[in-house]
């Protein structure tokens, strides 16, 4: 039992860091970006926590179990978010476009953070991905 716990523990810690710490780190970066371009801040809502935590957890799971599917998942996830009306409003103004672009940057930062956490625990997935 101890061997199983010691092999599972790094993955559990990586998931916790990716989902919880990632929410804070990415949220602060987005808060700073929104502040620099004078856009109201939406970085720390519960919906953001659940959606971003889920996307990071899913990305990490794919990095561990099916690394070659990770790029398709990232592209598909972002397409689905935009198709669902994520970060869009009916009137296309400069503010709406800026918000959408910052949300896209936020997704990339979120996935990057998840990939970094996965890499610390399972660095071989990058080599598998590159094949």
Give the single-character DSSP code of 18: I
| Residue with the larger pLDDT of the pair 14 and 101 | 14
- CB contact at 8 A, 34 and 41: yes
Please, are residues 89 and 96 in contact by the beta-carbon 8 Å criterion?
A: yes
Residue 4: in which H helix or E strand, if any?
helix 2-16
Tokens, residue 71: 């790029």
Give the total number of structural domains in the chain. 1
Percent of the chain at pLDDT above 90?
53
The whole domain housing 72 covers 2-130
The pTM assigned to this predicted structure is 0.85
Instruction: Check whether 17 has a pLDDT greater than 90.
Output: yes
Answer for the pair 63, 117: CB distance below 8 angstroms, yes or no: no
Given a cut of 70, is residue 90 above it in pLDDT? no
87 or 119, greater pLDDT:
119
């Amino acid at each position: 039992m101890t061997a199983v716990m010691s092999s599972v523990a790094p993955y559990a810690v990586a998931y916790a860091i990716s989902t919880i710490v990632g929410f804070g780190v990415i949220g602060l970066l987005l808060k700073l970006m929104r502040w620099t371009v004078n856009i109201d801040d939406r970085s720390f809502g519960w919906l953001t926590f659940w959606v971003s935590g889920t996307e990071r957890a899913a990305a990490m799971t794919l990095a561990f179990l099916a690394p070659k599917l990770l790029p398709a998942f990232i592209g598909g996830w972002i397409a689905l978010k935009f198709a669902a009306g994520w970060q869009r409003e009916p009137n296309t103004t400069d503010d709406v476009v800026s918000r959408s672009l910052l949300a896209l940057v936020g997704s990339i930062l979120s996935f990057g953070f998840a990939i970094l956490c996965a890499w610390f625990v399972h660095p071989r997935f990058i080599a598998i991905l590159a094949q």
